[in-house]
Amino acid sequence: MREAGRISKNALIAGGHAVRAGATTAEVNAVVERFITSHGATPSFKGYNGFPAGACISVNDEVIHGIPGHRKLEPGDVVSLDVGAKYKGFHGDNAATFIVEGGRDMEQKQRLVRVTRESFYEGLKFCRAGNRIGDISHAVQTHVEKNGFSVVRPYVGHGIGRELHEEPEVPNYGRPGHGPRLMPGMVICVEPMVNMGTHLIRQLPDGWTVITEDGLPAAHYENMILITRGEPEILTVGDEEL
């Protein structure tokens, strides 16, 4: 799983480098898929419940599950990449949000991306054996909401292993002291999905793409975490920090 995580993170990094003005989301996806397959793995998302690509690429008000296509990225676009790789029977899964250089009025978008990433690390503090899922969820929600943003509720983090999505679910909101207890050996994906405005969302007719109800941007950040008898270990570690 560490190797699946390493491939997933480096594929995400490669995709992030491809996020630039004029590139299409299909071109970014191609970079991700080539990286995964060139390292002896397969894209976890491609064909999963019929999803047609190796990466979910969600732009601006698209929260998650954006389908890569002919859309050209423009300066200031907020671009979330969600990437997974299957290696020797085990999955890796991670996500991050990038902003296309050259846009105007960037401060609030940059803050959205920063707070989303920070909220993951607030949740990570509670990824210790003996704690409960709700402790993670509450930490994520508290950090997001105190900064004036909102967490998406219908979609959540998850366990991971031989299957891409396993129990337990890991919501980005909740009460401390509630939910399944964390045990050594568990691997979970904590993935804050954060909206600049309302937490309300809706799905587009394509059956995949989820957008914010108010049309404001969203951001996404995810790593997979091994619960140990001591400090948690992030398994999606690559050659660069995101």
- Taking only the tens place, the pLDDT of each residue in 143-174 is 999 999 999 999 999 999 999 999 999 999 99
Nearest to 211 by CA among 15, 30, 67, 110: 67
CATH number at residue 164: 3.90.230.10
In a domain, 157, yes or no: yes
Least confident range of 100-109, 191-200, 207-216? 100-109
In a domain, 188, yes or no: yes
In a domain, 143, yes or no: yes
In a domain, 242, yes or no: no
In a domain, 197, yes or no: yes
Average pLDDT over residues 110-126: 98
In a domain, 56, yes or no: yes
Confidence at residue 69, expressed as pLDDT on a 0 to 100 scale: 98
| Percent of the chain scoring above 90 in pLDDT | 98
Domain tally, the chain:
1
In a domain, 7, yes or no: yes
- Taking only the tens place, the pLDDT of each residue in 16-65 is 999 999 999 999 999 999 999 999 999 999 999 999 999 999 999 999 99
Domain of residue 206: give its range. 2-234
Instruction: Tell me the C-alpha distance between 63 and 148, whole Å.
Output: 17
Confidence at residue 105, expressed as pLDDT on a 0 to 100 scale: 84
